[in-house]
Structure 1
Amino acid sequence: MSENCIPKVQLDVNMSGLRQTPLTCSGHTRPVVQLAFSDITPFGYFLISACKDGNPMLRQGDTGDWIGTFKGHKGAVWGATINKDATRAATGAADFSAKIWDSLSGEELHSFAHKHIVKSVDFDEDDTQLLTGSNEKLLRIFDLNQPESDAKATFSGHEHNIRAAIFAKFGKQIISASDDKTVRVWDTVSGQEVKKLEFPGIPSSLELSSDGRILVITHGNCTSFWNADRYEKIKDYIAPTQVNSASLHKDKKVFVCGGEDFKMYKFDYETGEELESFKGHFGPVHCVRFSPDGELYASGSEDGTLRLWQTTVGKTYGLWKCVMPDECVNNNDTTPVKPES
């Protein structure tokens, strides 16, 4: 099907002189606005994408091969996530609903009605709760063991639309980012706001590091890193463009980000040095995420495509065949080739 990934050679090279050759995943017809990976399962890992075309898609994470499309929303899908073992997916959309899906069959399991656009969805650690953030300026937690019931908890306090919301501290807290230029932390037991972080611009994305210890926040042309225990700033780095999304590698040595200038950037986490920058998309980059094994990162763009990028350019992985420096010189081969079965 046309949704499968296609190798596209780019002219950009990294510091070693190797060409970054992203895999371009087509199939969507409008901007891709959110991405999420599962953990590594016995069948590999998986990638879900939210798109304004209303058709969230599931793909094999290491190759980008299309698996299926979740059909049922009546408007743009703004948020999408998949649980750790890739058995359930969740989406939030402009049709004022959040939906739970069976990832294996593609069947819609339940739809949670809201009164405005749902921008963000997240599962808790054991997949028993769903968190939603919406343009109602509200956060809600639903009990997935009792899906017919109303929200078990509602959090109010933001003064504008909620852009992103995630569980933290094994479901004991939630973190939300809003157009009111704040990121807020909430206690899920008491329902109280326990921390408010204020920014000069709208925070555009949130991510917790794979160990849950570092909170990554993008705003303006800045990527900020915060201690996720005390919510104190560790450091922040400036990019050459407005940054819409960033992701920290699991080993905390590098992070990647993308934004308004269509480019992908990789920075050294300790020093902030720009290590690589690659062109590829034909529109602003809206979302960026590292794979669970850290071998690649995915990006979604205004141009309606996803792209997969190698963390270590030239390494054999997925559809990329080894083109390490010595072999590149000898073979002059930088085109990704699907490994033989």
Structure 2
Amino acid sequence: MSVILCTAGYDHTIRFWEALSGICSRTIQHPESQVNRLCITPDKKYLAAAGRHMVRLYDIKSSNPNPIMQFEGHTNNITGVAFHCEGKWMVTSSEDSTVRVWDTRSGQVQRNYQHTHPVNDVVIHPNQGELVSCDRGGNIRIWDLGESKCTHQLVPVEDVSMASVSVASDGSLLAAGNNLGDVYIWRMYQNHDSTTLLPCRVFKAHKDYLTRLLLSPDIRLLATCSADHTVRIWKIDMNEEHLEAIPEGPGSSNPDDPNHQSNGSPNQYVVNGNGTSNGTSTPSSISTPNPIVSGGFSAIANPDSRSQSSGSLTSTPISPASFRTLTELITQRRPLPCDTVLDNHQRWVWDCAFSADSAYLVTVCSDHYARLWELGTASIIRQYSGHHRGAVCVALNDYSNPP
């Protein structure tokens, strides 16, 4: 299968599609819960479906409708899932306020990191040694797997739920979006012993909730999905060096969506929970990476640096000079150029996936449809019809060769 395209959502089914014809080639029932997120392993052999409390792993090439493995341990909805580049381990995020790393061979938990709020998303840094997660308290945390601790915490707007995070394929950028529709972009600079994060863009991408955000494989585009029924495509200029500032005060919008379920939704826009950071010893299947993040720029100062064994935050406070620079730039919000608006959706757009060449985008929507867009013309190439309720997650792998 050269192209693997899967969608899932509230109708408790996972559907495999022939991308070019739009035909549904296979349907897997997922009766225990709706599916919140999908992820295809880099070798294209397996599909992970994240639902309530567990992730199920399905054999893509088999006709077996049953999962070949289940990863159990979360106590609430699983909101994010991603695989190590060789499939040796998997990371998940959950509304139970944890981020967990799993051995894909044994199904056992190797890491268990605690947020203070339900976690909305998690991604793996291309260096395979760091995780980036975000939560409903407005926190973005970077976790060093080698040191088994949180090394950076970014809080653009406290108590405003951070909905989604994305890291550039070369590790140069970190992008995040929140429930106010604001997007934040940091440059990530790495050397042999540290990572520095510098804010380079802040802008309002949508007037309503941002549900998903994704940097394209070629790092030239940023896609943002929203409750305003649109997906916007933003151009990225990698030569841009200007620092931008935190945007003006929070706006307001209505969180109610008639098709949004409180039990098991991909993103429930609730802030609650508590906990402290926690780390464990390095598991055998996760190799210790080159020395990476240890302090650096943080959007919130936390001078309470505890021992590494606790896995808690050890950030470098912002200098007064840096704070003044940010304050002076507050009114200078400059958005990225908006290249395209994909506005044929009828309801909330929940998720998206770029093609390997960054020329196409697949979106899924509460109007039950998945759509394949050609970004150069902003036109729909295929519309995938078959879900009986909202489609909320999509996974696409069209790379010619496994990584």
Range into which the TM-score falls when normalised by the shorter chain: 0.7 to 0.9
Decide whether aligned partners of structure 1 residues 241 and 113 sit closer, same or farther in structure 2, where only a CA change above 3 A counts: same
Residue 87 of structure 1: how far off its partner (Å)? 1.1
Partner of 1:116: 117
Q: Does 1:244 align with 2:350?
A: yes
Separation in structure 1 between the aligned mates of residue 341 and residue 63 of structure 2, nearest angstrom: 31
Give the secondary-structure state (helix, strand or coil) at the position aligned to 1:75.
strand
Partner of 2:202: 196
* Farther-moved stretch of structure 1 (112-121 vs 206-215): 206-215
List aligned pairs for 1:245-264, cutoff 5 A. 245-264=351-370
Separation in structure 1 between the aligned mates of residue 34 and residue 214 of structure 2, nearest angstrom: 21
Decide whether aligned partners of structure 1 residues 209 and 169 sit closer, same or farther in structure 2, where only a CA change above 3 A counts: closer
Partner of 2:338: 233
Decide whether aligned partners of structure 1 residues 71 and 31 sit closer, same or farther in structure 2, where only a CA change above 3 A counts: same
Alpha carbon RMSD of aligned pairs, Å?
A: 2.9
Residue identity opposite 2:166 in structure 1: I
Decide whether aligned partners of structure 1 residues 62 and 223 sit closer, same or farther in structure 2, where only a CA change above 3 A counts: farther
* Farther-moved stretch of structure 1 (187-196 vs 98-107): 187-196
Residue 115 of structure 1: how far off its partner (Å)? 0.9
Taking CA–CA contacts closer than 8 Å with sequence separation of 6 or more, which of the two structures ends up with the larger relative contact order? 2
Give the secondary-structure state (helix, strand or coil) at the position aligned to 2:68.
strand
Partner of 1:274: 380
Decide whether aligned partners of structure 1 residues 131 and 252 sit closer, same or farther in structure 2, where only a CA change above 3 A counts: closer
Separation in structure 2 between the aligned mates of residue 115 and residue 7 of structure 1, nearest angstrom: 32
Checking the alignment, whether the CA contact within 8 Å between 1:176 and 1:183 is kept in structure 2 is yes
| Per-residue Cα deviation, 1:83-116 (whole angstroms, up to 9, x for no partner) | 2211111111121111001112211101001111
Checking the alignment, whether the CA contact within 8 Å between 2:22 and 2:383 is kept in structure 1 is no
Checking the alignment, whether the CA contact within 8 Å between 2:356 and 2:397 is kept in structure 1 is no
Residue identity opposite 1:95 in structure 2: D
| Greater than 6 Å deviation, 4+ residue runs | 6-10
Checking the alignment, whether the CA contact within 8 Å between 1:155 and 1:191 is kept in structure 2 is no
**Which residue of 203, 218, 229 maps to 2:225?**
218
Residue 278 of structure 1: how far off its partner (Å)? 2.7
Separation in structure 1 between the aligned mates of residue 47 and residue 175 of structure 2, nearest angstrom: 23
Which 5+ residue runs of structure 1 have no aligned equivalent? 1-5, 296-341
Separation in structure 1 between the aligned mates of residue 63 and residue 120 of structure 2, nearest angstrom: 24
Identity level (%) = 17
Partner of 2:70: 69
Separation in structure 1 between the aligned mates of residue 365 and residue 170 of structure 2, nearest angstrom: 30
* Farther-moved stretch of structure 1 (269-278 vs 83-92): 269-278
Aligned pair count reads 281
Which 5+ residue runs of structure 2 have no aligned equivalent? 1-12, 189-194, 241-335
Residue identity opposite 1:34 in structure 2: R
Q: Does 1:30 align with 2:136?
A: no
Separation in structure 2 between the aligned mates of residue 146 and residue 9 of structure 1, nearest angstrom: 39
Separation in structure 2 between the aligned mates of residue 136 and residue 241 of structure 1, nearest angstrom: 29
Residue identity opposite 2:78 in structure 1: V
